[in-house]
Structure 1
């Protein structure tokens, strides 16, 4: 059975102006799953106009009233969690248990910001008894939220919830590969939670057409984008010409540092999760594992054994699913050839899975390479798949040098029993998130964002609200 996904504009489904649809294939089977509306400039304009019309009334509501609606959305997402997670699992290919966690994460964003917005205030500034000076945080207006295909519902909630909480209205553009779960949330928000029509719109289609049109639209005053560095540069160019603010969360090639005093009973499974979660399709993935020379061989042996136990497939007991898109499936296989040509030592994996009933889609083996140097392509380029490059280092200074020798700076991991070492190294790593004796820890409360080529601005936590508001200062002579 195939589905048809249309835009969601002004509180209702809307067919594409062109009448055109894009094919969506199911990652686990490689067979047709859906037809997705091919949005163009006219569809984007319709959605933006709808949002702009709805903005004044939404902006002028008391924060506590907006918060109540967001809390209701969180409640309804949880009531429909199995339905939404099933859509997410089929579209992305991830195991259902992982999709359930993604949907729960989305609910938490609406819950967190629905409560937090009630305590957002400006400040009074003392500039002398003759004046009263204060600040206000005000919404931008229409915000464009462009999300990738690897975690659509979670990252949709991450951008939409804080934007709505502070009084913005949103036009969201999910990836054409994963549109269904966000459409469901938009519908239930309007139909079941009292969100006014037009406050949240969803436009589908390819990034080159619908996404670009959204960033270029004159009524869009702020954009949040998660995706590739290439696309981020193009969006940044358009935004710079229009002089509008951006939040960019781009790629990563995150170092995961294992010191010789690390507890390997924690570091090994943690390092495996760091590069195999969501089949490696996570910007934060710890795909460069820097291991101190004295424990290098033992670590490689234990990681290889742990990877061998991972069950890949579409079965209920599988712990790793397929890659989400066919181009990504082909890209990862190309890097297997790159690694071979560069002389890296293959410890395990390195090929696609042989097709059978449970692996007929875009499945690759989780793969570990040792003998890697930091100048190899597999150590420098974001593969976005379950591929780990293990690189030896000598001491703390060498580990820090190697970790920072990258164009990216999204995340980093540190494994050590010495808390002082952990704090010293964390302070010198050039990345927005540092995890010590864990990897990818934290929740909706912890700010997320990158250094260097990994982007700028912050999502999550209280900090995100600052990026979805603009600051006004009012000074009155008494």
Structure 2
């Protein structure tokens, strides 16, 4: 396997990587369709194209779905759970064997710092390891019907599953959908975001190398209009897992309704981090900083709202701003504290929020401007930003910016903090920093969000179910709850006398 050093040298010399695949992955192999249409993939740190990939069509999607349908009905649903487990465990090992290639590719495609991409790849390996262990433990219940009857349930795979993968965490999101679907006995057809197509393709090849039968996991690349929409509307798709915007999520739901297709939606958030006066200040400062500036704030569950008690507000925000101003920016391969945002269009969106806030007289205490990689003058960068004392009805407190922008809201006390935390259309996650453990759990119960972190943001891993309330969507991924999303329960009752 090529080392990270070799891959960095190759990219520096050629501007690309020779290991990047071209073509869809269908029926166990890469194949370039006859139409031979391609799109460019851009390195956000340089704002330059570094590779091309296949621009799929509805015909390509149909081929992939039909392949997965055949594999489901003839092979995978009847494969013994222990055999599925062995394949997923092998895939986990192969992901780690390909750690450097996957991480460097993820950095070039998404822009995130290499150290974050390495963590994402290791997390993907852990996800396959976790669900490998669940394959042969997916068991039903029996229920007492008296001496004359027997009753029990079995969990059956839902069938062909479609996965629409976002650009902010390509390999992580692919893994958290692929692994439980495959563990349950489902087949997979995936459409990665057109900004970040490559790690999903590489992951499909790794699964094939691990022994996954042909057709069980297919990946089709292209735009949302030309491949994503035909995939979610396909009549042979039994389930859709979608991660993306509320607007697109609505469209997916409407499309799914036509065929009564199962859906899991993760639609983003505007997650509060509640910091109370009795918190461990150092712990809270570190947690708040990581919650919003990891991956340049391009995280659905980012802690993008700091809800802080009034008595510590001024000092805490001052200390936080000093740390933010010391963060380094740069190309992801250089391992900066903060990398670029993913595209020119997204950079303009983030900048638009701050430009409008500045026009309203907002108090911007750190950052607030478009910038570039200081080493090259290139790339799509936005300064890590803090906007202080924002009103609850301001768009900065209500809308998902999806960038390195922290909105500060000042609370009179814990009850007011709870009110501010819940005063939002989203309900994905929330963080709480306090030394009062009873109060922490009281707030955790009353904050309307799918996941709560206490005294550590992004606590937990694949074992912890993840998903949102309100406009953050519905359904759960990760943990054993995520496995259930890909199962249908059948009840069986029989007379035995």
TM (norm. structure 1) is 0.98
State the Cα distance separating 1:438 from its structure 2 match. 1.0
Correspondence 1:182 to 2:200: yes
2:311 is equivalent to residue 294 of structure 1 = yes
Which among 66, 72, 75 is matched to residue 93 of structure 2?
A: 75
**Could you tell me how far 1:357 is from its partner in structure 2?**
3.7
Q: What per-residue deviation string (whole Å, max 9, x for no partner) do you get for residues 250-295 of structure 1?
A: 1100011110111111101110111101000000001111111111
Q: 1:44 to 1:300 in 2, by over 3 A?
A: same
Identify the residue that residue 417 of structure 1 maps to in structure 2: 435
**Of the candidates 25, 28, 35, which is equivalent to residue 11 of structure 1?**
28
- Give distance in 2, aligned partners of 1:392 and 1:296: 7
Q: 1:317 to 1:179 in 2, by over 3 A?
A: closer
What are the Cα deviations for residues 89-126 of structure 1, in whole angstroms up to 9, with x where unaligned?
A: 11111111111100011111111001111111011111
1:358 deviates by: 3.6
In structure 2, the partner of 1:233 is: 250
Q: Partners in 1 of 2:191 and 2:426 — Cα distance? A: 25
Q: Residues 296-345 of structure 1, C-alpha deviation per residue, up to 9 Å, x if partnerless?
A: 10111011011112111116241111001221111111111021123220
Of 267, 270, 282 in structure 2, the residue corresponding to residue 265 of structure 1 is 282
Contiguous gaps of at least 5 residues in structure 1: none
Q: Match for residue 173 of structure 1? A: 191
Does residue 36 of structure 2 align to residue 54 of structure 1? no
Alpha-carbon separation, structure 1, partners of 2:22 and 2:307: 44
Residue aligning to 2:486: 468
**1:204 maps to which residue?**
221
User: How far does residue 39 in structure 1 lie from its aligned partner after superposition?
Assistant: 1.1
Give the aligned partner of residue 40 of structure 1: 57
Alignment length, in residue pairs?
477
Aligned to 1:365: 383
Name the CA distance, whole Å, in 1 between partners of 2:184 and 2:360.
50
Distance 1:202 1:355 in 2: 33
Give the secondary structure class of the aligned counterpart of 1:240. helix
1:356 to partner: Cα distance = 4.5
1:388-467 equivalence runs, <5 A = 388-467=406-485
5+ residue gaps, structure 2: 1-14
Equivalent in the alignment of 1:309? 326
Moved more, 17-26 or 227-236: 17-26
Q: Report the alpha carbon displacement of residue 371 of structure 1 after superposing the two structures with TM.
A: 2.3
Closer, same or farther: CA 297–201 of 1 in aligned 2, 3 Å: same
Asked if the contact 2:372–2:379 (Cα under 8 Å) also holds between the matched residues in 1, the reply is: no
State which drifts further: 133-142 or 32-41.
Answer: 32-41
- 1:115 and 2:133 equivalent? yes
Please tell me whether the aligned partners of residues 311 and 317 of structure 1 are also in contact (alpha carbons under 8 angstroms).
no
Deviations, residues 7-40 of structure 1 (Å, cap 9, x unaligned): 1000111224533212221101011112221111
Q: Secondary structure at the match of 2:284?
A: helix
Q: Select 2:103's aligned residue among 61, 71, 85.
A: 85
Give me the CA root mean square deviation. Answer: 1.2
> Is contact 2:330-2:374 (8 Å) kept?
no
Q: Distance in 1 between matches of 2:21 and 2:121?
A: 22
1:318-333 alignment, distance < 5 Å: 318-333=336-351
Q: 1:475 to 1:452 in 2, by over 3 A?
A: same
Q: Shift of residue 44 of structure 1?
A: 0.3
